[in-house]
Each structure stands twice: as structure tokens, then as C-alpha cells.
Structure 1
Amino acid sequence: MNCVGHIHHGLWKHPRDNSVDYRKPGYWIALAQLLEKGLFDAVFLADIVGVYDVLGDGIDVTAREAVQLPVNDPAYVVPLMAQATQHLGFGVTANLTYEHPYLFARRFATLDHLSGGRVGWNIVTGYLDSAARGVGLKQQIDHDDRYDRGDDFMDAFYKLLEGGWEDDAVVNDRVRGIYADPAKIHRIRHDGPFYKVDNVYNLTEPSPQRTPVLFQAGASKRGNAFAGRHAECVFTGGQDRPALAKMVAAIRGEAVEAGRERDDVKVFSYLTVVVDSNERAARDKYDEYLAYASPEGALAHFVSGAGVDLDRFGLDEEITDEKLEALYPGRLRRVGEARGGGFAPGTTRRKLLDARRFGSQQAPIVGTPSQVADEIARIVAETDLDGFNLTRTVAPECYRDFIELVIPELQGRGLYKTAYEEGTLREKLFGAGRARLPGNHHGAQFRHGHQRSGHR
């Protein structure tokens, strides 16, 4: 994330962490080169457009602990990293609720051009009231309504990127003085319930991928339906593996329901790793990291998504649905969305803080390279995941440790690539010749001469 503190809050204070340099170009260039050395598919750039201001009814904890505050726009670091690499992809988070597809399409087409076809878009619809207030709304739009808007946005987005210019519209004939054939540049008309477009798409010629690789996160029923129609890569999570396996199956099932193949969607979960050459060293490193972690920062992060200020409860007071409903009428649904379910009986603020001792609710894998590789293999076997989003702890140390210690172990087991394939990000993820959306994807119907079959 283009900020100091991302997921494991408080670890920016560690003396070997360099995340406070996020404002410097060299930080991003070095990160990209390191990840490419490790053959990472992509660097995933998260983002928010609000602030975590619910805990204590303010930003005291958020500001002190740099809980995604301040945060810069993620898109602008992509050209820096792309120039310094050849293969690394870039997943960029952007909130469609506060964008318009006409200008937004140009932004991502430009990034796709400048990166040589290595860009993905992580589609989010927002979850913070503070973001909505920042753009003039009283509160954020209702959860399912945001996805309804999202479907309309995506249709306009596809029309612009897939249907605006034909593949051979650019002639680039200096002798005849013709750069583009006007007959192959088309007026885009979209009259949806939320978005209107009526113009010749004169903003960019076709980029290598046209539509960026489409990422999405979320586990709600409406979110999964949206993913089944649009997403090519889906982030999900959870410590309970049977539940995670059910989520993976549900996501793939939604893709099939939308007329796609199960394998048209890659499903990833988060992974936090603390690794060293022997188990004692790994445990010592974890304990060292733990000394800098901020459970309070993690709680400030969580409660803003739920929209309830848990500082209103005593440290050992049980948090119940009845008490929450009395304090925040109608908010229990928000709590369920943020947690993937309500609070368990006996939950207290102390227990929530203890569960976030590492500055996050994500429990790390701590051990030797062999132990980490064993655990990764077990998770994949038990859940049908395609891969992982490796979370930052102490940077760049955490990336370097994983690259130097874990990846060789995975490669030795045939579980990790030994070289990059050529091509765009979509081709690296889905195979050669698949630089653009496959023919059975919802967005492909908006291109000229489309026939919905196979992976054309």
C-alpha cells in the first residue's frame, strides 16, 4: 500500500523497516526489482479513500499508529516500477463508487500502455462512511446497491475499452498521412441506471490487454455474484480451512453460473510468513516483531469497517448483538459484513485486542523454509486455492526472507515457477495467447464481432 502502515500495524516502528520511505521513488523501484528477482506474479497495491475514524470517535489511534494514514494514490507508482522491471505485474486498487467510467477507462488504459500490458484492477466499491462523506455524501451507499452500481459501471467500462477502437484502427501511415481509420473508431453509447456515456472514445488506442486483469475481494453473496460475472482473480481469506474451501468452491460456482469455466477465476488468500534458517531463529524473529506490533491500530482498522466504536465497551465487558443494536440501530449487518459473521458469545474488547497481538487478525506461519512450504502445500491441498497474497510485516526484510529461504524450497518441490513466461499479466496468469478477456467473459460481448464461446 502506498503508505506507512498497511496490514500488520505498528511494525513500521521496527528499526529495520523502511516503509516510512514510501514517498520516495527509490523505495518503489527497489521493491519492484526485489519482487521480480523472486519471480512474483505481481505487486498488489491496496487503497482506501477514507480514514479510520470510528474507534474513540476520531483518528487518535489511526494517526499515532499510521493506520493507512497518510496514504497516497497507488496508480502513480506503477510507471516507476514498470520502468525498472520486465515481467512483474501490478494490481491497482480503485474504488469505482467515486469514479466515472469514461475517464477511469483512460487511466487504466494508460497504465496498461506504460507497463506493456502488466496492469490489473482490484475492483472495490468502498466500505468506509468517511470516504462517502469526503465526496459529499452523508454516508456510504448500501452494500448491495454499491454492487448494482458496480455492474452498471463495468458495462460502460467494457464498452469503452473493448468496443471503442477496433484492433486495426491504428494505421500509422506516414506516407498517406493517416494515423487512425475513423471508420474503425466507434461512438460509445451507454444509458444505464447509474452511468451515462455518449461520445466517441477518443482517449486511448487499444492497450496490450484492453481491459486490465480484473481482481476483486469480498465474501458476501452479492459480492460473489459480482465476482462470478467480472473477476478473473479473487481474494478471500479466513483461518478455518473447511470454510475457506467452501468460499473457494462458491466463487468458482458463481463463475460457472455466469457461463464461464471454473478455472477462469484464480482464487487467492492472504499469507503472512515469518521465516528463518532454523525454528528457534524464526520464533525469535517473530517475538522481536511482536514487540513493535499495535493491537490498538488493528482494532481501529477493523471497527471502521464495522462502523461501531468498541471503545464504548469496557475492556472486559461482553460485546453482544443486543448492546450493539441499542448503540447503533441497524448496524448489525455492517458488523457481519466486516467480520464474515457476528461477534461470538463472550467476546470482549480485551479478547479482540489479544487476537490482534501481531497488529492484525491474520495469524502468521512461523518456522523454517521447510515448515513454511509444508504449510503452504497443505493449505492449497485442503482449499483448492491457486495462490497467495503475501502480506507485509517488516519491509523489505520480509520479502527478502521469503525470496531467499522459502521460494527455493517451493521450487525444489515443483510448487513454484523457476522462470517467467513471456507476455502480458493475463498471459502469465492464464496462459500464452490470452492477453485479453476470454470470449466467455461478460465483458467480451462488447467488442466488435464477438461470439460468446471458448476463450477467444
Structure 2
Amino acid sequence: MSKQIRFNAFDMNCVAHQSSGMWRHPDDQSARYKDLSYWTDLARLLEQGTFDGIFIADVLGTYDVYGNSNEAAIRHGAQVPVNDPILLVSAMAAVTENLGFGVTAGTAYEHPYPFARRMSTLDHLTKGRVGWNVVTGYLPSAARNMGHDDQLEHDQRYDVADEYLEVLYKLWEGSWEDDAVVRDRGTGVFTDPAKVHEIGHYGTHYTVPGIHLSEPSPQRTPVIYQAGASPRGIAFAAGNAEAIFVAAPTKHVLKSTVARIRDALEAAGRPRDAAKIYTLLTIITDETPEKARAKHADFLQYASPEGALVFMSGWMGVDLSEYDLDDPIGNVKSNAIQSTVSNFQAANDDGEEWVVRDIGRHSAIGGLGPLIVGGPEEIADELQAWVDETDVDGFNLAYAITPGTFEDIVKWVIPELRRRGVYPEAYEPGTLRQKLHGRGDRLPSDHHGSRYTVGQGLPVG
């Protein structure tokens, strides 16, 4: 029997997100991204479907690798305009009780000290339902607008991220003791100063001598998400990640990626299942296979091939406008998302090289992940096959149109998965960390961040 399948919804505070051009479809509501009601309605829908959470992506630059210009990105609405993801969470939390929130924020352009307070605030307000997707950045335009000539080299970005996490763990785990806040009305003492500790961090990239500004939140450290599958990204995830998002075009590629991640977790002294692994996927479904295929054919009329190549150029760090549509991308070096390049340098399911035309067609709806089309039984069969053949834990579900894609999944796919006994009937109680792993609200002892747990006067480590 297949293991339980888990779902996250993949969205972004922008138009069309992964499927450039689909904003033109009459049923798509992604242009409502500016309306709070879009997000609160979506949160209610996802909680109805017992999704683990909503994972909100983000960028701090435009996709200007394609054609060495951001004109195509602006023209197609390719993740521009884009608004801040963090500001959405409080409103969605107010209309739900169990849905988790994975927020993307980068380590390159914001100091960890104010960021630590922002995440602690969200963890308090959500009663422990927030996670942080750690990204190191991949768009050169973001670096330029932050005053740099270009972003750091790929592995150097992770070196900075290592220290960034060290500062955060010291603040979240090592500054305040659990019983520091006493609220003693008789003595007039709100917090016992002896139980609040300066972290004394003096590192290569950051100097943070003082205390964390927030008292301990339900999880202290938010659930750590990570979305890099390069060798350096996996090494980073092995010590830190509790949920890992990957994007693989085929089961063969995904199986290899999942195995490398689980091996790395074990090598880091953690259980092989210490991180839930979700793969990017887009589902088009309806009551019958025929209706689903007709829906897919309708969607294809609106998809933008050029918009897809704009995205892929940014993700790969390769200007695909310089290639003929029938050219393979060859042995290029990427300073963006290295795993994306390596995925498309491997053979496809037919054993042939990916060419630019195939990459654009593959990513036109759903972006980096595969697209599956069919009735509820076909979709359930395929999802179970992906889980059984690759050992992945679940799916980070992108949309073709929103909220329609998610409505169809809740209406048609989830009941079929529940009928087969492979999808949760209800949420487990507790924080997001407890819901995902069942090991408590706080970081487990085998997690890298637990070494900074508050000690006698100073954090350990």
C-alpha cells in the first residue's frame, strides 16, 4: 500500500506565477493577487482540502536573462509585478486553524536581526504554523538593485546562508529561556533579565552582539524549508531543512534526487525521513478523462511559449533566446539554479536530449514541474506511481488557473485519494512542525539548529 500523499499549494503574490500567459484565461483570477479576499478565500479552500500548507514563492528582481532584457518578462507578466509574500500570512491565518504557511525570503539582501523578529512575530500570530523557505537568490537583477554588480557565486551564496542561519538559531533558540517572561504583577517584573541572553555573534559576514527582540514563539524556530537540489544545496539542506521542495521533469530524475537528499540527511546524523520532500507538479483534472483533456486543450490556447522561455532563462541562468529552438542547451555553467540546468541536460523519458523547443513546451503550464492530465482515477494512479517509484513524500502543486486548479483538486482528486486510504482525512493537532513530523513543536535534538539551545547564561555552540 502506498504511503500517505501530502499536498502543498504553490503560489506567489503576482500574476500567473509558473504559467506565463494563463492570466488571459477568462476563469483565471490571479490578477486578484492584490486583493486580500483572494488569499483568504484560497486559504479556506486549501484547509478544506487538508493541504499541509501554502508555499509562497518570491523574487526580488525581474527575469532579464532572456534577451538580456526584462521587456519580455514585463510584457508577459512573468512574476512582475510582484508583491511581498510575508504580509499575506496574518490574514490567511485569521481565517484558518490548521493550514501551514511557507514564506520565501532570501539570505542575500536583508540582515538576519530584523528578519528574526519578523518570523517570530508570524509564529506567534499563527500559533506556530509558519515556515521559512530559505533561498540564496538566483536573479542578477536583484543583486544590481541591491547595489552589487552581480550576485555571489552559487556556492558562496550558501556560505553566507550558513552564517545567516547560525545567527538566527542563536536568536531563536539561544537568547530567551522558556520561562523568562514571568508577568509578575506583584513585583512589577514582566521579564526576568537573568533569563534573557546576548548571543555575542561576531562572524565573517554578520555581527550581532545582543538579544533577540521577541519572546519565544510556539516553534521558536519556524519550520525550515529549502528548495535547492544542487550538491551544495543538498549539503545545506542536510543540516537545516525540515521540508524540501524539488522540481524534476521525470520520475527517473526525481528518484535520483530524492535518494541523494535522504543519503545526505543520514550522513548529517539525521533520520532519512527528517525532511518531507515535495516535488513540483501541476494537475489538470475534471469529472471525466475527456473533460480533463478538453480543459487542457483550452488552457493551451492561452499559454505563452515566449513567457515560458523567459522563466526558464532566469531559472537556468542561460539566455535561451540565443539558441535555435531545436538546439540542446549543452554543457553550460549556471550561476542560478544549478539543479534546473542539470535536469534538462539529462535525457528525457524517451531517452533523448532536451532541446529548447521541448523545454518551452514542457514548462508552458506549470513551470519546472511535470503536468499530468486526466480524470480523478487517472490522476490518483499517477500520483501513487510517483510516490511509489521515487520515494517522494508529496507534491508542491502549481496551478494552471487559480483558484480553479485547486478547486478541481479538492473536488475531484482528494476524494479519490481518500477512498484509496492514501490521503489524510483530517489534520493532526499541534504546530506546523508537529503536523509534519510528529516529533514535537520545537527543533529535534538531531537538527543542526538545536546545538544553539539556550544554556546557562549563553547559547551553547
- Indicate yes or no: 2:380 matched with 1:373: yes
- The equivalent residue for 2:292 is 282
Identify if the C-alpha distance between structure 1 residues 365 and 359 changes in structure 2 by more than 3 Å, giving closer, same or farther: closer
Q: Over the residues paired in the alignment, what is the CA RMSD in angstroms? A: 1.9
> Structure 1, residues 111-146: CA drift from partner, whole Å, max 9, x if none?
101111000000000011111101000001011111
Please state how far the C-alpha of 1:342 moved relative to its aligned partner.
Answer: 6.5
- The equivalent residue for 2:430 is 423
Which residue of 430, 447, 455 corresponds with 1:441?
447
Which residue of 184, 196, 200 corresponds with 1:189?
200
The 2-side partners of 1:265 and 1:242 are apart by 20
Structure 1: gaps of 5 or more residues:
325-330, 451-456
Deviates more, 1:301-310 or 1:105-114: 301-310
Please state how far the C-alpha of 1:363 moved relative to its aligned partner.
Answer: 3.1
- Indicate yes or no: 2:393 matched with 1:386: yes
Secondary structure, counterpart of 1:218 in structure 2: coil
The answer to whether the 8 Å contact 2:65/2:314 transfers is yes
Please state how far the C-alpha of 1:257 moved relative to its aligned partner.
Answer: 1.4
Identify if the C-alpha distance between structure 1 residues 36 and 333 changes in structure 2 by more than 3 Å, giving closer, same or farther: closer
The answer to whether the 8 Å contact 1:294/1:359 transfers is no
Which residue of 335, 339, 342 corresponds with 2:341?
339
Secondary structure, counterpart of 2:108 in structure 1: helix
Which residue of 64, 73, 96 corresponds with 1:62?
73
Secondary structure, counterpart of 1:245 in structure 2: helix
- The equivalent residue for 1:414 is 421
Identify if the C-alpha distance between structure 1 residues 379 and 62 changes in structure 2 by more than 3 Å, giving closer, same or farther: same
Identify if the C-alpha distance between structure 1 residues 336 and 430 changes in structure 2 by more than 3 Å, giving closer, same or farther: closer
Secondary structure, counterpart of 1:99 in structure 2: coil
Secondary structure, counterpart of 1:188 in structure 2: coil
- Indicate yes or no: 2:391 matched with 1:400: no
The answer to whether the 8 Å contact 1:336/1:342 transfers is no
Please state how far the C-alpha of 1:337 moved relative to its aligned partner.
Answer: 4.5
The answer to whether the 8 Å contact 1:5/1:65 transfers is no
- The equivalent residue for 1:353 is 360
Secondary structure, counterpart of 1:264 in structure 2: coil
Please state how far the C-alpha of 1:310 moved relative to its aligned partner.
Answer: 2.6
> Structure 1, residues 149-183: CA drift from partner, whole Å, max 9, x if none?
11111111100000110000010122221111110
The answer to whether the 8 Å contact 2:228/2:337 transfers is no
Identify if the C-alpha distance between structure 1 residues 244 and 168 changes in structure 2 by more than 3 Å, giving closer, same or farther: same
The 2-side partners of 1:25 and 1:351 are apart by 37
The answer to whether the 8 Å contact 1:10/1:359 transfers is no
Please state how far the C-alpha of 1:244 moved relative to its aligned partner.
Answer: 1.4
TM-score for both structures, normalised by structure 1: 0.92
- The equivalent residue for 2:6 is none
Return the letter of the residue paired with 1:121: W
Alignment of 1:232-247 (within 5 A): 232-247=242-257
- Indicate yes or no: 2:41 matched with 1:30: yes
> Structure 1, residues 52-73: CA drift from partner, whole Å, max 9, x if none?
0121221222112110001111
Identify if the C-alpha distance between structure 1 residues 351 and 413 changes in structure 2 by more than 3 Å, giving closer, same or farther: closer
- The equivalent residue for 2:303 is 293
The answer to whether the 8 Å contact 2:132/2:224 transfers is yes
The 1-side partners of 2:365 and 2:224 are apart by 31
Identify if the C-alpha distance between structure 1 residues 144 and 84 changes in structure 2 by more than 3 Å, giving closer, same or farther: same
The answer to whether the 8 Å contact 2:234/2:264 transfers is yes
The 2-side partners of 1:443 and 1:348 are apart by 42
The 1-side partners of 2:396 and 2:178 are apart by 34
The 1-side partners of 2:170 and 2:43 are apart by 32
Deviates more, 1:180-189 or 1:57-66: 57-66
Identify if the C-alpha distance between structure 1 residues 411 and 335 changes in structure 2 by more than 3 Å, giving closer, same or farther: closer
The answer to whether the 8 Å contact 2:228/2:339 transfers is no
> Percent identity over the alignment?
48
The 2-side partners of 1:74 and 1:164 are apart by 27
The 2-side partners of 1:238 and 1:347 are apart by 13
- Indicate yes or no: 2:265 matched with 1:255: yes
Return the letter of the residue paired with 1:80: A
Deviates more, 1:245-254 or 1:300-309: 300-309
Identify if the C-alpha distance between structure 1 residues 134 and 398 changes in structure 2 by more than 3 Å, giving closer, same or farther: same
The 1-side partners of 2:124 and 2:224 are apart by 16
The 2-side partners of 1:359 and 1:160 are apart by 37
- Indicate yes or no: 2:88 matched with 1:77: yes
- The equivalent residue for 1:167 is 178
> Structure 1, residues 215-257: CA drift from partner, whole Å, max 9, x if none?
0011111110000010011111213323312211211111111
Return the letter of the residue paired with 1:154: L
Structure 2: gaps of 5 or more residues:
1-11, 347-351, 457-461
- The equivalent residue for 2:188 is 177
Return the letter of the residue paired with 2:441: A
State how many pairs are aligned: 440
The 2-side partners of 1:414 and 1:350 are apart by 40
The 1-side partners of 2:269 and 2:44 are apart by 38
Please state how far the C-alpha of 1:368 moved relative to its aligned partner.
Answer: 0.9
The answer to whether the 8 Å contact 2:225/2:244 transfers is yes
Identify if the C-alpha distance between structure 1 residues 449 and 412 changes in structure 2 by more than 3 Å, giving closer, same or farther: farther
The answer to whether the 8 Å contact 2:433/2:441 transfers is yes
Deviates more, 1:440-449 or 1:210-219: 440-449
Identify if the C-alpha distance between structure 1 residues 89 and 354 changes in structure 2 by more than 3 Å, giving closer, same or farther: closer
Query: Which structure has the higher relative contact order (CA within 8 Å, separation 6+)?
Result: 2
- Indicate yes or no: 2:73 matched with 1:40: no
The 2-side partners of 1:305 and 1:271 are apart by 17
The 2-side partners of 1:90 and 1:149 are apart by 25
Please state how far the C-alpha of 1:11 moved relative to its aligned partner.
Answer: 1.0
TM-score for both structures, normalised by structure 2: 0.91
- Indicate yes or no: 2:158 matched with 1:147: yes
The answer to whether the 8 Å contact 1:298/1:359 transfers is no
Please state how far the C-alpha of 1:80 moved relative to its aligned partner.
Answer: 0.6
Secondary structure, counterpart of 2:118 in structure 1: helix
